[in-house]
Structure 1
Amino acid sequence: MSEFIIEAYRDAAADAGSRIYPLVRAAKLKSDFARVFSAHLGHLINGDRFETQGLLVTGPSGSGKTTEIGALIRRFNDDAIILPDGSRARFAECVLKGIGTWKDLGKATANALGYPVSAKARLTQSDIWDIVVREAKLAGIVGIHFDEAQHIFRAKSDADRLAVLDSFKTLMKSHDWPLILIFSGVPELNGYMKSEPQLYRLLHRIRFSDISVPEDYQTIHEIVGSYALRAGAQVDQDLMTQDFFDRLVAASASRWGLLLEVTKGAVAVSQHAGAETLTRDHFADWWVSKTECARVATPFMHSGYLTLYRKDHPFVKALDD
């Protein structure tokens, strides 16, 4: 065994890393996606020209957007739905973080379809999008998920933003092969998309809300219990109390994605320690290893946990700011 492999962490990640707890929002995401794709497929069968629809998924960083959408796309691609031309329907994914110009956007999109565009290629904007549509059609790609989409709009003039939005609109309205687009990002993304009314009206909007207590206590209870039991551990009764739930929510900045991350981390710590029962100590241990803060200053131990950590800076003590 390699000195760089810790079996407990490897096994915990392999077992729970891609396991998604079925939150209510996932059902809405799947339902809206299914409606959009079903209408899209119907138009392809009919053979008429059409403009397709898409999804706009927003929520704070750490709310779990990328994870939820990625899991949905994997299930869709694995379903191997047959299109009218005999190809299997697929979805592509493109991360827009670090993407600056429209040419960067076009090249990143083409690359996500498996068609790298040379940095030396002298192509117009129209040329690049023609390549994207052509390659998507040849590959049976019916849509693209643009993750971290707010990055393509930041620090740009209104004219540059509208040019990018027009490119997205062109893909969705393509006469040859309209593409379903899923945009995901932080809440400011909604404002950028709204500035192009024709594109905005084509999007089903989904907001990933923060954790709400006490309404979500039962779901938190089920998440902690399910991840522990899947790892073969019992759950200490202390973890089933309102005090612990409130501390876990505070540690997670009220975001479901972070709550799942913290819980998975604590379970991995318990497995590494060979513990038969998941306890508050394992959550504190994970936090210390993540932040290097004193054990007494973790949200699982400190009496002032509600004010010690800022919601807009998860894992960073307020007194360090």
Structure 2
Amino acid sequence: MKQPDWPFILVLSGTGKLGERIQEEPQLAHLLRPVSFTEIDVHRQEDLNELNSLCHAYAERAGHDFTEIGTVDFYRRFSIARGYSWGIAADLMIAELLIAHGKNVDILSTAMFCEAFTERLELQPGFSPFSVDDYEEIFHAQKMIELWSKSKE
């Protein structure tokens, strides 16, 4: 991996616990450069634009159409489902694309995001920020990060 003619980058994404674990391994800690991201702020146009680009890029690469659901309401729901975390935002997108691919569906829907969310976090089907009206009161960002961290263990 240290060969200059072989471009390679390893991205480790997660919460503060990941950084603590990396520091426990001196060889790995020496080679890595930690980068921290701010939280997603759905009230900032730049963050909405970035979410839009991220979702469209992943969907397009996988051969799916994201156009119908790319709204401000969706991005707010998507953001809270991921605990406003940039570092782990792609995880839900990939899970949803796998569901769409498995169902042989071209046009993505919020129902598929709801399914991906509940399957990954082992919650009751249909109970997600994508399906309930009071999602901001029910789903708290810190709790979402904890649930996603536990789902990977």
| TM superposition score category, shorter chain reference | 0.7 to 0.9
**What is the DSSP-based 3-state SS (H/G/I as helix, E as strand, rest coil) of the residue aligned with 1:208?**
coil
Q: Normalized against structure 2, the TM-score is what?
A: 0.73
Matches within 5 A, 1:274-293: 274-293=104-123
Counterpart position of 1:229: 60
Q: In 2, Cα distance between the equivalents of 1:295 and 1:247?
A: 17
Q: In 2, Cα distance between the equivalents of 1:78 and 1:301?
A: 48
Deviations for 1:167-216, whole angstroms, at most 9, x for unmatched residues? xxxxxxxxxxxxx66464xxxxxxxxxxxxxxxxxxxxx54211122321
Counterpart position of 1:219: 50
Q: Is the 8 A contact 1:244 1:300 kept in 2?
A: yes
Q: Is the 8 A contact 2:118 2:126 kept in 1?
A: no
**What is the DSSP-based 3-state SS (H/G/I as helix, E as strand, rest coil) of the residue aligned with 2:119?**
helix
Q: In 2, Cα distance between the equivalents of 1:228 and 1:98?
A: 32
**What is the DSSP-based 3-state SS (H/G/I as helix, E as strand, rest coil) of the residue aligned with 2:141?**
coil
Which letter maps to 1:282?
M
Q: Is the 8 A contact 1:295 1:301 kept in 2?
A: no
Deviations for 1:101-160, whole angstroms, at most 9, x for unmatched residues? xxxx5xx43xx4xxxxxxxxxxxxxxxxxxxxxxxxxxxxxxxx52xxxxxxxxxxxxxx
Number of equivalenced pairs: 134
Q: In 1, Cα distance between the equivalents of 2:107 and 2:22?
A: 43
Q: Normalized against structure 1, the TM-score is what?
A: 0.37
- Structure with bigger gyration radius: 1
Counterpart position of 1:267: 97
Identity of aligned residues (%): 17
Deviations for 1:61-96, whole angstroms, at most 9, x for unmatched residues? xxxxxxxxxxxxx6xx45349xxxxxxxxx9x9x86
1:234 deviation in Å? Answer: 1.4
Does structure 1 residue 97 correspond to structure 2 residue 28? no
Structure 2: which 5+ residue stretches go unaligned? 13-18, 148-153
Q: Is the 8 A contact 2:48 2:75 kept in 1?
A: yes
Distance change >3 Å, CA 292–CA 209, structure 1 → 2: same
1:236 deviation in Å? Answer: 4.3
Q: In 2, Cα distance between the equivalents of 1:98 and 1:276?
A: 39
Q: In 2, Cα distance between the equivalents of 1:213 and 1:267?
A: 23
State which of 129, 138, 141 in structure 2 corresponds to 1:308.
138
Q: In 2, Cα distance between the equivalents of 1:283 and 1:297?
A: 11
Q: Is the 8 A contact 2:114 2:127 kept in 1?
A: no
Structure 1 segments of 4 or more deviating over 6 A? Answer: none
Q: Is the 8 A contact 2:118 2:128 kept in 1?
A: yes
Distance change >3 Å, CA 267–CA 252, structure 1 → 2: same
Which letter maps to 1:274?
N
Distance change >3 Å, CA 296–CA 209, structure 1 → 2: same
Q: In 2, Cα distance between the equivalents of 1:98 and 1:229?
A: 33
Which letter maps to 1:97?
R
Distance change >3 Å, CA 181–CA 272, structure 1 → 2: closer
